[in-house]
Amino acid sequence: MDRGAEAISPELARSSLWCMRRLICSLGFHVMNPEDSEQLASIIKKNLQAMVDFALQKSFGILNNLSGEHKLCLDAVEVFVGLVCAGCNEAAKSPFLFPCLSTIQIERLPARHSFIKVLVQIGSMANDENVKKMLSEMVLQPLRERFMLLSKERTSLETDLVDLLDCFGGLAEAAQNYNTHFLFEYLSPILTSSISLLLSYKESQLLTNAVLDLFNNVTKRMGVYSENHNDMVFLCETLLELIRVYRDGQFTRYKVIDVDVEEKASDLIILLDILANVLSKDDLSIIPLSSSDTTEFATMGSRVALIALEMLLPIMEDDLLKLPSLCRKFYRFILYFTEMAPQTLESLPEALFVSIIECLRHGLRSDFGQEISLISAETVTEVVSYFTRLTPKNETAISHLAVLLEPTFGLCLSCSWQVDLQNASATALFALICCNQIAFEEYVKQLLSRDENRPYQATLQSAFQSLLPANLEFHLGRREKREFRNRLEQFLNQAQGLLVVE
């Protein structure tokens, strides 16, 4: 390295870095597990600081002198990440750390996300206020100031903003319960400004994805670890604004121009990840200052999800749902929505409620694969169970849910050899019968009256009578559900090869 970049073979340097990374991980393991070999651990501990100093100098030397070698720079960052994980205190105490940091632009690094994440870990784990202060002054403050400046300039390059947003995503991913409040204070102005960027760069897919990625990292990590009421209020309000801006800006272009399906899916997938994070059980139960707070955050989370659901349902057509990742995330979002905010279903506009049922009907029919059928069956159970228990009864919703009887029953018939899917579909069918037994009995009459089923009508009628014993009222309950599943299994054995439903 001292003789210049031209004297170095990138491939040989990568091999050397690989060996160094393996050595550092091994050294760290023996220091943290001295019971394996106390003598070896003692020797390593004496020399670990020298090894960390050496690795720091070499890694940063590569980043400075061979910045054009992308793979080599990635390996150099991985070495830095490895040595921090193996000897965090030694990295923080190294006299070379801050001089090395002063020579690079973090946002230009190929693995800046991981790099900034371990820097936060150094600051959080090192019991030294000077180290924390230096990291703040040398790294965090300059990054935020640069972003705030660029976000106000119309001539800023998109890639510069994207690189900085990637750095902030690494910061969010470093969240733990002891540093989340600090990270919220640091990132709050950045999150607010990033929403404004969506307005300024509404045609930029690159920047849109970068902003959504940042919010994904924030909701995935910081939303889980936060124990501060004000931080969570800010996050919920910011998410509401994000959804509104996205709906009115980026989202409108999908309605008026022909956008490539894969391109369209990229930001929708990230958005669905954010919504899944918001509706996670962890996010909605971590602020129990009082019972009213829990209700407040459940309500705010459901508001975010409802606005997004109203936006997404009209455009979720076959061309998008044929993309496996998007389809899976969309159906999981509906499941989480019905699990975490079932009370919202009752107040949904009728057209929106019918659209959800139509999505579930397609999912139950295996139009998008077995995994979607399983998720759909679980969602049907959640929705129908809510309306079954609701008093007074919502007859309009119950009548709409009746259209799910046919595809749910068909799924029970077609998946008897798949345990998970059979259990989920049987549970969904049980819930539907508990909700509207009369509708199921009418459906059975229609089946028995079909020309294809008349030759076996007596056998099938006997099988259905065993499935639905006379004078038995169905109620949601574990024992009742177990007994129904046993009767359904007997029914499938009796009706196999005889019953035609389509």
- The two three-digit tokens of residue 51, written as one number: 């090894």
> What pLDDT, on a 0 to 100 scale, did the predictor assign at position 463?
93
CA dist 240 and 303 (Å) reads: 8
Helical ranges in 390-418 per DSSP H: 395-401, 405-414
Q: Give the other-Cβ count within 10 Å of 390's Cβ.
A: 16
| In contact, 255 and 315? CB cutoff 8 Å | yes
> What pLDDT, on a 0 to 100 scale, did the predictor assign at position 284?
45
> What pLDDT, on a 0 to 100 scale, did the predictor assign at position 40?
62
| In contact, 211 and 197? CB cutoff 8 Å | yes
> What pLDDT, on a 0 to 100 scale, did the predictor assign at position 283?
47
| Residue 471, phi-psi category: left (phi > 0), alpha (psi -120 to 50), beta (remainder) | left
> What pLDDT, on a 0 to 100 scale, did the predictor assign at position 475?
85
> What pLDDT, on a 0 to 100 scale, did the predictor assign at position 290?
40
Closest CA to 398 of 365, 423, 431: 431
Residue 450: C-alpha distances to residues 426, 444, 468, 491, 492 (Å): 24, 10, 20, 19, 19
> What pLDDT, on a 0 to 100 scale, did the predictor assign at position 43?
66
> What pLDDT, on a 0 to 100 scale, did the predictor assign at position 257?
46
pLDDT along the chain (502 residues), means of 10: 61 84 70 60 71 87 84 88 77 89 90 91 82 92 95 85 96 91 95 93 90 95 86 90 87 58 78 89 43 51 85 81 90 92 88 94 89 96 95 93 96 88 95 94 92 90 91 85 93 87 81
> What pLDDT, on a 0 to 100 scale, did the predictor assign at position 178?
86
> What pLDDT, on a 0 to 100 scale, did the predictor assign at position 287?
43
> What pLDDT, on a 0 to 100 scale, did the predictor assign at position 48?
76
DSSP 46-74: HHHHHHHHHHHHHHHHHHHH-TT-HHHHH
> What pLDDT, on a 0 to 100 scale, did the predictor assign at position 387?
95
| In contact, 201 and 208? CB cutoff 8 Å | yes
